[in-house]
Amino acid sequence: MKNRLLTQSEHDIQSVCIQWLNYNGFYAWRANAGMVRTADRYGKYRMIKLGDAGMPDVLAIVKPFGFLYGFEIKRPGGKVTEIQRMKHEKLAQAGAKVFVIHSLEELKKAVEREIVLPTLSERKTS
């Protein structure tokens, strides 16, 4: 069994990535997908769909420009599924940029390499 202390979970990586993005000029959030079971006031259960299958785990908009970025977060060595790959292609065709990220360091490199961030003065005016 792997030592849990040596490997970060996707949730851990997502949390630090969202914090970093929000601190650095993005409006970023976790894009929950899947379904949840809920009960109404009469005790009847129903399923609620949260989001589209294959959507990136984290969505972010660069303030104040409004460009959409998707970040699929994977544990080190993790790979995207076919449905995720197809959804990422569809988002790219619509003008979004999608990245597959395995760590905060990888996120920082992708942002530095691929995304032009507004200056601090531009961020303060938004």
In tens, the pLDDT along 67-106 reads 899 999 999 989 999 999 999 999 999 999 999 999 999 9
Residue 119's pLDDT is: 53
Give the C-alpha separation, 75 to 36, whole Å: 24
Domain carrying residue 57: 4-124
Spell out the residues 6+ positions from residue 88 whose beta carbon is closer than 8 angstroms to its own: 54, 56, 70, 72, 80, 98
* Percentage of the chain lying above the pLDDT 70 cut: 87
What's the CA dihedral at 88, 11, 19, 26 to 10 degrees?
10
The answer on pLDDT for 11 being more than 80 is yes
Domain count, the chain: 1
The answer on pLDDT for 17 being more than 80 is yes
Give the C-alpha separation, 53 to 56, whole Å: 9
The domain that holds 55 is classified in CATH as 3.40.1350.10
Give the CA count within 13 Å in the CB-facing half-sphere of 5. 0
